[in-house]
Chain A
Amino acid sequence: MKPVNPRGAWTLFLRETRRFMTVKMQTIVAPALTAILYLLVFRYAMGARSVPGLDVDYFSFLIPGLVMMSMLQNAFANTSSSIIVGKVMNVHIYLLMAPLSAIEVVGAFLAAAVVRALTVATVLLLVLAPFTALTFAHFGLILLYGVCGSILMGGFGLIAGMWSDKFDDMALINNFVIMPLTFLSGVFYSVKQLPPFWQQVNHFNPFFYLIDGFRYGFLGVGDTNPFTAMWVVSGATFVCMAACWGLWRIGWRLKE
């Protein structure tokens, strides 16, 4: 499609942003509360011990991981729920009928996912700030990982939404792919605490790099080389965006 439609893309972005802003309790307050509960439980369960292999206390270790996990889950939820609701209610046809190119649609969806993720992250950090002394060792890295991670998961959400035909399909992806990957990515532990075999396995989990790199941005220490992580993450983000673009262009599982 040659003629560009920036107003259309902007409208779609606003629509997708409004969608989560009108239900703030569900989309921003609830994730913040969940993260705080995790934090409190783990803080009292683990006490003030420090993380083996890293010279930080457990509480400081936990915060960046929890923030990133919330960002990833919210970015995924924003795109996936919009697409699946659209498909189930058959309103996705209006998006197909609109004069928008695949780049415009995917760009608008991903931008809205990033905005939601960053909003949740900001709220979380503001709430958590009184409990601990937050450090920002490399603010640029925090932003890079935060944005890349949100795009990546927003993109996964888009693809998952296109793939799903009903809410059940989406629940399947959530429970069997997204939850295990986020929980087993080193949010709650350092991979250095794991046996060597599982350390290796973790290196194939993209979430691991996202969370580790993000944490490095805060603490200045991490489980892996932040530059390796940067390559993995930006590569994966690029591939994911390209996949979204290609799939939307052909109307994968959207058009008969």
Chain B
Amino acid sequence: MGQDTRFALQVQNLHKVYSNGKSALDGVNLNVPKGAFYALLGPNGAGKSTLINILADIVRPTAGSASLLGHDVFHDKAWCKRHMGVVPQEIALDPFFTPREVLAITSGLFGCKPDNAWIDELLGRLELSEHANRNARQLSGGMRRRLLVAQALVHKPPLVILDEPTAGVDVELRRRLWDFMRELNAAGTTILLTTHYLEEAEELCDYVTIIDQGRVVADRPMRELMRDVAGRYLWLRYGEGFTMSDEDARALVDFQPRASDRGVCLTLRHGKPDETNFHEAYQAAVSRFGAPVDAGVRQEDLEDVFIRLTHDDTNDKQQGDRT
């Protein structure tokens, strides 16, 4: 397969059909640049965890290939496993050991010399120091989740894959966890994550792939996605009893008008980056309905884009738009 040194992880045409006949991945491609903070998004059941579990060697792929820093993930398994750390979605901990023991054992299993300084740092950064010597059974859900993160980092992998690392973690801790991830990323670690907190993904990640029903529906740098795919709307309020006739609708057809009983919403287009046809839209509305009592422009955020892309039956159109 083509190994491009710019990428930390490349997945090509990955398929997975489970033994019950359910197809979870239907030809997924993924190119994660080195040093990226990469979001893999999709609704529940889209195939995100299947993809991650295949990379982690917990699930067997049906077809396709993957390479990590130029090494074949499915054939050079030991090398690849040493160079990636995976936080699985489901919280699972061996009840037999304390967090410190879990980390020491994991480090050993990955063939690393015991590095207590690093283990201490991980425990500290993930705020587990106080609980380091307690039985894993006594940890709260959020602590367990953080221990899983520590476990994935204990062998200092250049690629870290986090499957829903912040589910069930409170806002404050979530923020500190992301700060830590950002630091690791700044130090050169490539990070691939899935999350349902889309505003966090939008803020943190520089690349995004959205998958739905096992297929990629969007795949581009976050900024480009927001610039090109996120819509801008002009809304104008006229108050109670507003109506739009068929004739009005025909006249405004370029702006895909949507009317409510209080006003109308028009879709704006980008001419150049940072420039829209706001003025034409406003003029057109005013010429049909007169001056509004209030108006504003709304920019779609990642969540809107996500919902539009994954709830749209015309995904093929979006796929055609992709570069």
Question: For chain B residues 104-163, which have a beta carbon within 8 Å of chain A?
Answer: 105-106, 108-113, 151
Q: Which residues of B contact A93 (CB under 8 A)?
A: 56, 58, 88, 92
Q: Cβ of A49 < 8 Å from any Cβ of B?
A: no
Interface string of A1-38 (1 = CB under 8 A from B): 11101011011101100110010000000000000000
CB distance from A19 to the nearest CB of B (A): 6
Interface size on B, residues (CB 8 A): 31
Q: B residues engaging A (CB < 8 A)? A: 18-19, 53, 56-60, 76-79, 81-82, 86, 88, 90, 92-96, 105-106, 108-113, 151
Q: Which residues of A contact B78 (CB under 8 A)?
A: 1-3, 5, 99-101
Is A99 in contact with B108, judged by CB distance below 8 angstroms?
no
Interchain CA distance A224-B32 in the complex, whole Å: 65
Q: Which 9 A-B pairs have the closest CB atoms?
A: A11-B108, A90-B92, A99-B81, A98-B109, A99-B78, A1-B78, A5-B111, A256-B59, A91-B94
Is A11 in contact with B109, judged by CB distance below 8 angstroms?
yes
Interchain CA distance A50-B79 in the complex, whole Å: 62
Q: A residues engaging B (CB < 8 A)? A: 1-3, 5, 7-8, 10-12, 14-15, 18-19, 22, 86, 89-91, 93-101, 251, 255-256
Interface of B is mostly: loop
Q: Which residues of A contact B19 (CB under 8 A)?
A: 256
Q: Name A8's contact: one of B58, B59, B79, B109 (CB within 8 Å).
A: B109
Some 24 contacts from A to B, beta carbons below 8 A apart, are: A1-B77, A2-B76, A3-B78, A3-B79, A8-B109, A8-B111, A10-B108, A11-B108, A12-B108, A86-B94, A90-B90, A94-B92, A94-B151, A97-B56, A97-B86, A98-B106, A99-B77, A99-B78, A99-B79, A99-B82, A99-B109, A255-B59, A255-B60, A256-B59
Is B96 in contact with A98, judged by CB distance below 8 angstroms?
no
Q: Which residues of B contact A86 (CB under 8 A)?
A: 94
Q: Which B residue's beta carbon lies closest to that of A23? A: B96
Interchain CA distance A170-B69 in the complex, whole Å: 42
Take A256-B18, A256-B19 as given contacts and tell me if A98 and B94 are in contact as well, using a CB distance cutoff of 8 Å.
Answer: no
Take A97-B56, A99-B77, A101-B78 as given contacts and tell me if A7 and B92 are in contact as well, using a CB distance cutoff of 8 Å.
Answer: no
CB distance from B166 to the nearest CB of A (A): 20
Is B93 in contact with A91, judged by CB distance below 8 angstroms?
yes
